[in-house]
Chains A and B, each alone.
Chain A
Amino acid sequence: DAEITQSPRHKITETGRQVTLACHQTWNHNNMFWYRQDLGHGLRLIHYSYGVQDTNKGEVSDGYSVSRSNTEDLPLTLESAASSQTSVYFCASSEPDQETQYFGPGTRLLVL
């Protein structure tokens, strides 16, 4: 069965360190998205991609970057982790011209 996976599921890091969160989908979807979920804010879009070599900034992109070298993967990098980036991160994918998104299980990140 097709799926979308995220790793690690839990991560503790220190401020200033670079952190990369992995997202891998086997749906063969062109569209991929990264969100963060925080109490009081809901899901907010960080970055998204509509295909290989395409990346776009979302609502809360400062301090984050993504790269899309193949269809299956969209890693999210925190260049220099800050305590404000402590959150639960979700990756999602969708088919072109379709609004239904399929979500991964999430990565819980704690920045100390």
Chain B
Amino acid sequence: TQLLEQSPQFLSIQEGENLTVYCNSSSVFSSLQWYRQEPGEGPVLLVTVVTGGEVKKLKRLTFQFGDARKDSSLHITAAQPGDTGLYLCAGGGGAVGGSEKLVFGKGTKLTVNP
């Protein structure tokens, strides 16, 4: 059973468009993390959200943790080709059974066309 469901699985957009990626679960997590992975490399952490309702911004990226700490979203404003990559959400604690382990969603593959 996949604890974290990400949608959409694939997303292809034009430069300048906005997009939102969702990460949903029926389980509660102590934290939600977003990673970005480029081809041939390992995932790199973008942000960690730990408080229900928390919103964090990283330049054109906005991350939100749901009030009940079961879901999260990533919104990109005015996407650029450099945003292309695989975006992974990961949940820790609570449902995972140990705060140091993570469970990952399957990822959203984003392509931003010039």
Contact at A94–B100, with CB atoms within 8 Å?
yes
With A99-B31, A99-B33 as contacts: A90 and B42 at CB distance below 8 Å = yes
Cα-based distance from A97 to B101 in the complex (angstroms): 10
Cα-based distance from A42 to B99 in the complex (angstroms): 20
Interfacial residues of chain B within 20-49, with CB under 8 A of chain A in the complex: 30-31, 33, 40-45, 48
B interface, over-half SS: loop
- Any chain A CB within 8 A of the CB of B106? yes
CB neighbours of B107 from chain A (8 A): 42
Contact at B100–A98, with CB atoms within 8 Å?
yes
Chain B min CB distance to A10 (Å)? 10
- Any chain B CB within 8 A of the CB of A53? no
Cα-based distance from A42 to B44 in the complex (angstroms): 15
**CB < 8 Å: which of A43, A97, A102 contacts B99?**
A97
Cα-based distance from A9 to B58 in the complex (angstroms): 31
Q: Mark A1-22, 1 if CB is under 8 A from B, else 0.
A: 0000000000000000000000
Contact at A99–B48, with CB atoms within 8 Å?
yes
A99's nearest neighbour on chain B, judged by CB, is B92
Interfacial residues of chain A within 78-107, with CB under 8 A of chain B in the complex: 90, 92, 94, 96-106
Contact at A105–B41, with CB atoms within 8 Å?
yes
Chain A min CB distance to B51 (Å)? 14
Chain A min CB distance to B65 (Å)? 13
